[in-house]
């Protein structure tokens, strides 16, 4: 069975997925980190350059669930972060690929 999902519906589902995660926020000087329930950071944001780092686990989950590219998944993540935390995202990177 095939389903047609509009872009706005995908956005809502992805954002609901992000909202369902329980994060502990830790601000450390010029950065903020969102730690998952396993005490590992899934998100990192630097205030001075607006760089958002997102865990590969999150990005690959979104890619797999919705057949999106890495870039598309990162864009959804960046939009969600901007909306929920109110910080302007200038650059979005896959955290694990950077290291």
Digitized pLDDT (tens) for each residue of the chain, 99 residues in all? 777 777 789 999 999 999 999 999 999 889 999 999 999 999 999 999 999 999 999 999 999 988 899 999 999 999 999 999 999 999 999 987 654
- Give domain limits for the chain: 7-98
Counting Cα atoms < 13 Å in the Cβ hemisphere of 88 gives 3
Long-range contacts of 32-37 (CB under 8 A, 24+ apart): 32/85, 32/87
Give bridge partners of residue 2 from the DSSP assignment.
Answer: none
DSSP 90: S
- Dihedrals phi, psi of 28, to nearest 5 degrees: -130, 90
């Amino acid at each position: 069975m095939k389903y047609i999902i509009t872009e706005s519906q995908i956005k809502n589902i992805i954002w609901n997925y992000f909202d369902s995660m329980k994060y502990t926020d830790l601000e450390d000087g010029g950065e903020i980190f969102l730690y998952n329930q396993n005490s590992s950071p899934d998100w990192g944001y630097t205030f001075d350059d607006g760089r958002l780092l997102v865990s590969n686990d999150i990005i690959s989950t979104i890619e797999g669930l919705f057949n999106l590219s890495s870039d598309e998944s990162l864009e959804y993540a960046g939009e969600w972060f901007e909306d929920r935390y109110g910080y302007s995202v200038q650059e979005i990177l896959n955290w694990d690929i950077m290291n």
